[in-house]
Structure 1
Amino acid sequence: MIEYLDLIMFAALMVAVLSGFPVSFSIAGVAIGFAYLGWMLGVMDVSLLGALGQRAYGLIGNQVLIAIPVFVLMGAILEKSKIAEDLLDTMGRCFGQLRGGLGISVVLVGTLLAASTGIVGATVVAMGMIALPSMLRAGYNPALSAGIVCTAGTLGQIIPPSTLLIILADVMSNAYQQAQYEQGKFAVEALSVGQFFAAAMLPGLLLVVLYLLYILIRGALRPTDMPPADFGLARPDRHEIVAAIVPPVLLIFAVLGAILGGVATPTEAASVGAVGALLMAGRRIGINPRLILIGAVALVLLGLLAGAYPVRLQRSDNGVLEWVIGAVYALLAIIGLGAVVLALRAAIRTKIIHEAATSTLTMTAMIFATILAAGFFSLVFIGLGGEERVAHLLENLPGGPNGALLFVMLFVFVLGFFLDFVEISVIVLPMVAPSLIIMGHDPIWLGVLLAINLQTSFLTPPFGFSLFYLRAVAPEEITTGHIYRGVVPFIALQAIGILLIWVLPSIATWLPSVLF
């Protein structure tokens, strides 16, 4: 019994999490209980817990994870300012007259919102409240409608900028460094968030293509499931399309372009995104669009010019040209700051900032508390010999490296029925990732496969978060059974996407190899 204490600890964690008690407290409580039990039974050196303070300090000062609250704030501002509603309305009127057009518009809007907000709950709720009633009114199959909304909403987990990818980048980078140490390499390499963002771009778009193909094929084979929407939708004019789509697209290019182009770190790019989201919110809530546009252009010009020709006015050898350029930069900064202040005042007046800050604080506290508790759990698990057991298990599975990876993918998939992606990422993956990397799997490719697998956990009953979000806002005619049945085909599409990336690793590895 004592030699299986690590396995019993993991089983106890599952029971504690499923009990409904707050996750971070459940993880920490199980760790404390089994640390004391292991010490009492003489199978654990309790001095190992001395590393807990170091882990907490490392978490607080982690330059990668600092980007999470800023990206969450960016998404929260966009959510609270109802920008998703404009997108859904415009895209629905663009494609509504086609067979399956409303489904196509939901997937495309989900893609844009994923790349600009990255918040699954906000996207699913917005589309569940706005798009789902329109789909039902047009005669769409209820289960299919629910499945499309749930699945489109989860794209925020795989398309950058994504909280999941930031956490995975940190976990996989640590695992990669640990694997290098175990292989005797002491000049270790690290992996960046930018590499994982680049690696996830094409796989994310691949999933979008699979969803769209499924909608088009099902619309052709079973036209009664997705009839054209013919209840008086007026097609939007060019101005409406530009006003709804261009600002989010420009924000996406500003954030991802800065990271992938090496111009800014993820935290700096997230700050740019938060300012951009604030300007978009200001335009949405009544600030003169020309003032917002002038301020945005001034800030973009300032970033580009200062990057191309930096000026340091404190230097004694500056000439007239440097002082003139410095004055121009100062003027651009003042114009941009003026637009930001106007947008901020409007956002404070309409309580958007209050709601966004509360949402950001809640989500950030949950994520960081879970990561901190998971660090405690992993220390105790290592002390009880769990790390050696996991490595031995993976090394002795039939099929070699591919067999071990298949086992881990299936294990993560099953855990996704019951656990959140944060818990799986920070508890399970640090145990298995180093062994898989030592076996020869590319860490970036491995991270993308795991990211899509974890994205699927939002769709798998009974505890898929997207299912809960949609259940809370769905019309009365949508039952829980409809939602569960509706996501099944899309879970199969997720599996097809994983299989394609497994067979063709270059889908995930090509873009980061070119950019980095």
Structure 2
Amino acid sequence: MLFGLDGVEISLIIVAVSLFGGILSGYPVAYAISGSAFVSFVLIAGFNEIGWLYTLQEIGGEMKKVPVFERGWEHAMLTTESTWAQGVFSRAFGGNVETLLAVPLFVLMGIALERSNIAEDLLTTMAKLFGSMPGGLAISVVLVGTLLAASTGVVGATVVTMGLIALPTMLKHGYSKSLATGVIATSGTLGQIIPPSIVIVLLGSIVGDMYSIGQENRAAELGVTVLEMLGEPAVLSTGTLFKAAFIPGVMLASLYALYALGFALLNRDQAPPVHLEDPDSYGLLSYYKNNPLLLVGAVILPLITLVVLWIVFGVSGVIGEAEVNGAVEYGPISGGTFSLLVITTYITILGFVLRPGEAKLPIIVGLAGSLLLFIIDWNYVGGNASGGAKLLWYIIPAAMIVYGMKAALTRLVEIEVLRVVSPPVILIVAVLGSILGGITNPTAAAALGAAGAIMLAANRRLKETNRSTAVVIWASLAIIMMLLMRGNFDLRLTIEDITFSDRVGIVIAMISYHIAAFGLLYSCWVLIKEKVMHAIVYETTKVTSMVFVILVASLFLSLTLRAFGGEHYIQEFLQSFEDPRTLLIVVMVVLFLLGFVLDFIEIIFIVIPIVGPVIYAADPTLMPPTWITILIAVNLQTSFITPPFGFALFYLRGVAPSNVTTMDIYRGVVPFVIIQVIGLTLLWFFPSITTFLPELLPAN
């Protein structure tokens, strides 16, 4: 044995050196991964043939040398190639294809929004609103990064856009280069943790199988079935991961903003207040005795109250449904109905809070309608009520709510901040609401988001050229109507007995579908005519191709590891840790270190399939699979900002002015890497941060 290492250990070193050498060579990552798999296989096969790579095994009472390719390199090559071909086929047409379809759709959604200049409007408006406070521009970048993360999820587009728009402004007004670059690079990565997230979609396509395999292995060791052991199937869906990631994403954004504010308070000369424009040009403060705290309280407190009520009702079983002894028991309030009540009530209240001088009657009528709908749903509408029965009970309070909402929205769109923020927020509510509310799965929500982004981009172009946006608006309303029909009626055409109310719902849904489809086609035509669609499709194709080529290449590398027993060796090493939490810490440290040199896609497709069956075999009551996955996701997000190969750093370096050096960018992201570690620590000690929403909200 060379240096006391057996053949498998030497083979692992050969693979690692080949992989890192290929990545550092400058070749595209996908080709570097597949090339390193081929080169390492050839080297291992050659050394195996000349007798250098072997393990010592006891056979017939004596120790014998066994080559790492026991049946020769030819058999190993044929086995690897056939398994690789089958794996590629299953990836393309197997059970995960629906999950992976969300990747190009979310990418399309992000690219379309980036091309519609929404980010530029958001940054400009937020800078006017928060610029007058210390560190206000940095806080604005964090807020915009959070909104773009929830509406696009594309790191490159977000970092480049904010780097082009915000960085020159921040430097011009005396901001520290390190703070400016750090906050832009890091805020741009929020799209990898705040849903909809490509990282979570890709993780969801893998960890569901890892969790199932891990729990089956644990059940086999105990001599029972998975159902007997867990009391439920070992299922982990992408929709559940989206719910689990929402609160951690918002938590990280809050930590970024707190750091920016703290830095500004301690170093006022490096993050000074900036007066870009009168932030109260609409006279908002005059109604609140020129006290910004009163205004913020009036805006935030109703939202906090409604959310707290939502949480309390959800935990106590007042809203939603639960399965008890095989039977579904409904709470007094429908989960979907209460979600809509929270949204509409807050918008109505906001219309009064931000425009208290306007007529109060429509607001009172709208709030009375919300209260009436709440009372009716609690007392008269059961959880299993048909869509027709709901329509009859809801029609009067719904009309009152619409009346109040119309008045509130008319007032709110007069305010520039809300007029700019509302398009991405509406898209966020539609996409995330449909997932978190259990209306649809992430793939269908991704399609909704892509269509919505295209219509938003077309709407923006039509406004710029002073053309009517009526078609796009009607199509948007039709999409909302389809979601309402989907949530309240059984729209299946294959069942034998379709009730009259469901037939009405089906007809309304079909009419809405054709209106929405026409609006989408019209939006595409507008973008084609404006020569924007070509760039959107080109960028989407390029990013999607990169993801899937890496997927195929990483499968080849994984099979090379499996051919000489490397995968089994690593898993045996991991299983030697008796405490599963200690094992998880080791895996997290390894992932963190790999993030310095590997992109998140390579880590997901190369590392997770190897370590997944081991770490997901832990008792889910001790280590919930959603908690493990979100810890990994936050760790992978860190890979975007860890020097020297963090992708966000390269994106920012490409658009930063010449007077901003690479070392300025590196110094700027170091505090945020520390914040990421703090965030991981909080998630480690408080798993409920990730498990709270999946337990509260209905399953997809």
In the superposition, the TM-score normalised over structure 2's length comes to 0.70
What's the counterpart of residue 24 of structure 1?
30
**Contact 1:458–1:467 under 8 Å retained in 2:** yes
- The answer as to 2:668 corresponding to 1:489 is no
Contact preservation (8 Å) 1:164, 1:421: yes
Count residues in correspondence.
515
- CA 1:498–1:315: 2 relative to 1, 3 Å: closer
AA aligned to 2:153 is: G
Q: Which 10-residue stretch deviates more, 348-357 or 146-155? A: 348-357
Q: In the alignment, which residue of structure 1 is the partner of 2:12?
A: 6
1:446–1:319 Cα change, 3 Å: closer
1:70–1:274 contact (8 Å) kept in structure 2:
yes
Is 1:48 matched up with 2:85?
Answer: no
Q: Is 1:412–1:453's contact at 8 Å kept on the other side of the alignment?
A: yes
Measured against aligned partners, the alpha-carbon deviations of 1:137-164 in whole angstroms (never above 9, x if no partner) come to 2211111111111111010111011111
Match of 1:346 among 518, 526, 540: 526
Measure how far apart 1:470 and its partner are.
0.8
1:214-254 per-position Cα deviation (integer Å, ceiling 9, x unaligned): 11222222211211112556656543222211111111111
Partner Cα separation in structure 1 for residue 104 and residue 451 of structure 2: 14
**Shift of residue 401, structure 1, vs aligned partner:** 2.5
Q: 1:171 to 1:232 in 2, by over 3 A?
A: same
Mapping of residues 216-231 of structure 1, within 5 Å: 216-231=261-276
Q: 8 Å contact 1:95–1:104 — kept in the other structure?
A: yes
> 1:115, 1:223 → 2: CA distance?
31
Instruction: Provide closer, same or farther for how the CA distance between residues 472 and 181 of structure 1 changes in structure 2, counting only shifts above 3 A.
Output: same
Task: Provide the residue aligned with 2:555 in structure 1.
Answer: 375
Distance 2:615 2:506 in 1: 52
| Equivalent residue number for residue 453 of structure 1 | 635
Structure 2 counterpart SS, 1:64? helix
8 Å contact kept, 1:175–1:433 = yes
Per-residue CA deviation, residues 179-199 of structure 1 (Å, 9 max, x unaligned), is 123222466523111111111
- Say yes or no: does 1:128 pair with 2:163: yes
List gaps (5 residues or longer) in structure 2: 49-66, 70-74, 228-232, 283-413
Where 2:100 maps in the other structure, the secondary structure is: coil
- Compute the displacement of 1:37 (Å): 4.5
1:313–1:322: 8 Å Cα contact kept in structure 2? no
Amino acid at match of 2:442: P
8 A contact 1:394–1:435 mirrored in 2: yes
**C-alpha displacement at 1:339, in angstroms?**
2.5
* 1:276 corresponding residue in structure 2: 452
Give the conservation status (yes or no) of the 8 Å contact 2:485–2:505. Answer: no
Q: State the Cα distance separating 1:30 from its structure 2 match.
A: 2.4
Provide closer, same or farther for how the CA distance between residues 504 and 361 of structure 1 changes in structure 2, counting only shifts above 3 A: same
2:442 to 266, 269, 280: 266
* Residue 430, structure 1, aligned to residue 606, structure 2: no
Q: Structure 1 residues 100, 381: closer, same or farther in 2, change over 3 A?
A: same
- Cα distance, 1:419 vs. partner? 0.9
Give the Cα separation in 2 of the matches to 1:319 and 1:424: 50
Q: Which residue does 1:211 correspond to in 2?
A: 256
Distance 1:478 1:233, change over 3 A: farther
Moved more, 437-446 or 368-377: 437-446
What amino acid is aligned across from residue 39 of structure 2 in structure 1? G
Does residue 1:170 correspond to 2:205, yes or no?
yes
Give matches, 1:152-191, under 5 Å.
152-183=187-218, 184=220, 185=225, 189-191=234-236
Aligned to 2:244: 199
Q: Which amino acid aligns with 2:663?
A: G
More moved, 490-499 vs 138-147: 138-147
2: CA distance between counterparts of 1:401 and 1:430?
Answer: 17
Is 1:293 aligned with 2:473? yes
> Which residue pairs with 1:390 in the alignment?
570
Tell which structure's C-alpha radius of gyration is larger.
2
Superposed CA offset, 1:273-306 (max 9, x none): 1111111111111253444222211221133125
**1:396 Cα shift?**
3.5
Query: In structure 2, how many angstroms separate the alpha carbons of the residues matched to 1:232 and 1:96?
Result: 9
The answer to whether the 8 A contact 2:121-2:420 is kept is yes
8 Å CA contact 2:178–2:664 kept in 1: the answer is yes
- Out of 432, 437, 444, the residue aligned to residue 256 of structure 1 is 432
Q: Does the alignment pair 1:414 with 2:449?
A: no
User: Which runs of 5 or more structure 1 residues have no equivalent in the other structure?
Assistant: none
Q: Does 1:507 align with 2:664?
A: no
Deviation larger for 453-462 or 227-236: 227-236
Q: Could you tell me the percent identity over the aligned residues?
A: 41
User: Per-residue displacement from partner, 1:419-442 (whole Å, max 9, x unpaired)?
Assistant: 110001110121112212234433
Distance 1:13 1:339 in 2: 48
**1:285 is paired with a residue of what secondary structure?**
helix
Q: Matched residues in 2 for 1:279 and 1:132: separation?
A: 29
Report the Cα offset of residue 408 of structure 1.
1.6
Matched AA of 2:418? V
1:87 CA drift (Å): 1.0
Contact 1:71 1:273 in 2 (8 A): yes
Task: State the Cα deviation string for residues 428-475 of structure 1 (Å, max 9, x = none).
Answer: 121112212234433221111111111111111111111111111112
Change in CA separation of 1:325 and 1:388 when aligned onto 2, cut-off 3 Å: closer
CA offset at residue 6 of structure 1? 2.4
Q: 2:687, 2:243 → 1: CA distance? A: 14
Q: Is the partner of 2:607 in helix, strand or coil?
A: helix
Inter-CA distance 308–480: structure 2 relative to 1 (3 Å threshold):
same
Amino acid at match of 1:339: G
Distance 1:198 1:340 in 2: 28
| Amino acid paired to 1:482 | D
Match for 1:206: what amino acid? M
Q: Which has the higher relative contact order, 1 or 2, with Cα contacts under 8 A spaced 6 or more apart?
A: 1
Q: Which amino acid aligns with 2:249?
A: G
- Contact persistence 1:176–1:443 (CA under 8 A): yes
Whole-angstrom CA distance in 2 between matches of 1:372 and 1:321: 48
State the AA in 2 paired with 1:212. Answer: A
| Residue matched to 2:177 | 142
Q: 1:148 to 1:233 in 2, by over 3 A?
A: farther
Cα distance change, pair 105–36 in 1 and its aligned pair in 2 (3 A): same
Displacement, 1:10? 2.2
Aligned pairs for 1:87-102 (under 5 A) are 87-102=122-137
CA displacement 1:13-66 (0-9 Å, x = unmatched) = 111111111222222222233334545524235153222122111111222111
Q: Which amino acid aligns with 1:200?
A: A
Distance 2:671 2:629 in 1: 24
1:309 corresponds, among 489, 497, 501, to 489
Q: CA offsets per residue over residues 394-424 of structure 1, 9 Å max, x none?
A: 2345x83233222221211111111110001
Amino acid corresponding to residue 127 of structure 1 in structure 2: M
1:472 aligns with 2:507: no
Q: How far apart, in 1, do the equivalents of 2:276 and 2:270 lie?
A: 17
The one-letter code sitting in structure 1 at the alignment partner of 2:671 is P
Greater shift in the superposed pair: 490-499 or 275-284: 275-284
Deviates more, 1:313-322 or 1:257-266: 313-322
